Structure 1
Amino acid sequence: MPYWLNEAYSSAITSLDIGLIHRNIQIAPILQVLIKSLYNKDARFIDYGGGYGMLVRMMRDRGFDFYRQDIYCENLFSKNFDVDEDLKNKSGFELLTAFEVFEHLPDPIKELEIMLSYSSDIFFSTSIYPKDANLLKWWYLIPETGQHVSLYSEESLKYLASKYNLNYYCFNNIYHLFTKKVISNAAFKRVFNRWNQKIVNRIKPNPASLLDKDFNKISGTKM
């Protein structure tokens, strides 16, 4: 394990991660279309390494029953929706998301096995290492933070998927899906197409927002 991790994680999310809000705004509509296209939209979902809980709150506002898991970062936006063992043991989760998490894992195989204990399907983002690139000059290394300790080629992600008998799909060298489902690459890519998103949203509306229900649960009152 890298000796500098304790120092690197003195703050769970670094000051250089100025794209955190933009990233969540960008991924939420993609995620809702992925769920409505390939999964049971009324099931439970988990955001692994969910940081401040922003994505969980955004997805619950959209009607999807999301929960957060993160042992390192304070939950600011979805405090009452952290995963516990009782919830985990009820019926598992339809899909696990892990955005900008894999590059932080000192032991990816061990951590992947923990993820798979929650769900056999994992939708995640991490930038694939460009072939023939100079690693020390690759922007995604971000040596100033010391947090990106695992970098992946397409081959290494394919290996991880095959190790656990999962299919692997990739879009734009950033978004990845490990799944037992057999889908076409074209079907996965359509999830990211804005015109397709409009069609899916028109044909398959979101579940009712959980905003009011969550407020009632937390406050013990009814709006």
Structure 2
Amino acid sequence: MTCHICNTPSNDSFQVKVLFKYDVTYYRCRECGFIQTESPYWLPEAYESAITSLDIGLVSRNVTWAPTVEAIIRKWFRPEGPFLDYGGGYGLFVRMMRDRGFAFIRQDQYCENLFAKHFDMTDQPPGQTYELVTAFEVFEHLPDPVATVDQMLQAGKSILFSTKVQPNPNVTPETWWYFIPETGQHVALYSLESLQRLAKRFGLQLFSDGHDLHLMTAKSIDPTWFRWLTHPRKVQLFNRFHSYKARPLLDQDFQKVYDSVKTQPLKDLI
């Protein structure tokens, strides 16, 4: 097996029972430490439910990242946006960021948009570009990370994303919960080195908190500031005293949605 990140040979590392029934081989790259599964033929079955019942951290994750994303935008990006949340799930994060005053749009090919209807990528003009692309808990789902990152970068030239970094070079499903073979959705597991090499393939730098939040960009970023803005208390202070004050988009979003649906039958609005 060739590593999807650096195109060097990967070792046949171990087998795991995926979805409680498939014996799946995982490969570890000798060069960058990236772990990938064999070709994931089971994904259609794994995505019969886009959000698994094991993802009980969905709400807390959005609550945690929203102020951090706000601060990162204020510090290094144009606050007027627009912004794209790639793999945005139910649209909760998009709604939260729009309520904070940032013009986020959702994209997700697997999941129904519940909270950000009318603010989906399919509703935008063709060729729309975005100031920043976010992708939370997406990278570990990618059978071909290079191809998907290339797709993201066509939408925006910087990607802020979360995926947990391997805690040690010899990690296994028995020692790290993040494999989650029960769901069959995590098919790509990254070392920090593999993320750095992935960014380098596109001529970008990687900035990371060393754990689970990362930024690929060509912008000049102070790594110390980036790590500082991932601290919950510090980021709240930064947002509170920063000069830019975003106005929530809730009222104007309501008017937009109302204008688009007020002529529809009542049954279509429920």
Answer yes or no: is 1:109 the counterpart of 2:138: no
Q: State the Cα distance separating 1:6 from its structure 2 match.
A: 1.0
- CA change 1:88–1:27 in 2 (3 A) is farther
Match of 1:25 in 2: 63
Contact conserved, 1:128 with 1:173, CA < 8 A, in 2? Answer: yes
Match of 2:105 in 1: 67
TM-score, structure 2 length as denominator? 0.78
Match of 1:120 in 2: 157
Match of 1:203 in 2: 242
Output the amino acid matched with 2:144.
D
Distance in 2 between the 1:64 and 1:53 partners? 14
- Residue of structure 1 aligned with 2:168, choices 125, 131, 136: 131
Output the amino acid matched with 1:107.
D
Contact conserved, 1:56 with 1:68, CA < 8 A, in 2? Answer: yes
Q: State the Cα distance separating 1:207 from its structure 2 match.
A: 1.4
Match of 2:18 in 1: none
User: Which region of structure 1 is more displaced relative to structure 2, 178-187 or 196-205?
Assistant: 196-205
- CA change 1:129–1:195 in 2 (3 A) is closer
Count of residue pairs the alignment pairs up: 220
Answer yes or no: is 1:96 the counterpart of 2:133: yes
What root-mean-square deviation, in Å, do the aligned CA atoms of Structure 1 and Structure 2 show? 1.5
Contact conserved, 1:62 with 1:206, CA < 8 A, in 2? Answer: no
Q: Residue deviations 1:29-84, cap 9 Å, x none? A: 11101100111101200000000000000000010000000011000000110013
Runs of 4+ in 1 over 4 A off after TM superposition: none
Output the amino acid matched with 1:213.
Q
Output the amino acid matched with 2:121.
V
Note the residue ranges of structure 2 that are not aligned, 5 or more in a row.
Answer: 1-38, 261-270
Distance in 1 between the 2:51 and 2:110 partners? 9
Distance in 2 between the 1:143 and 1:48 partners? 23
Q: State the Cα distance separating 1:3 from its structure 2 match.
A: 1.4
Contact conserved, 1:48 with 1:96, CA < 8 A, in 2? Answer: yes
Q: State the Cα distance separating 1:133 from its structure 2 match.
A: 3.4
- Superposition map of 1:1-223 within 5 A: 1-84=39-122, 86-90=124-128, 92-137=129-174, 138-193=176-231, 194-220=233-259
Identity of aligned residues (%): 49
Distance in 2 between the 1:104 and 1:164 partners? 20
Q: Which has the higher strand share?
A: 2
Contact conserved, 1:88 with 1:118, CA < 8 A, in 2? Answer: no
Q: State the Cα distance separating 1:198 from its structure 2 match.
A: 1.1
Q: Which has the higher helix share?
A: 1
Which secondary structure does the structure 2 equivalent of 1:25 belong to? helix
Distance in 2 between the 1:117 and 1:85 partners? 17
- CA change 1:169–1:52 in 2 (3 A) is same
Note the residue ranges of structure 1 that are not aligned, 5 or more in a row.
Answer: none
Highest Rg: 1 or 2?
2
- CA change 1:88–1:61 in 2 (3 A) is farther
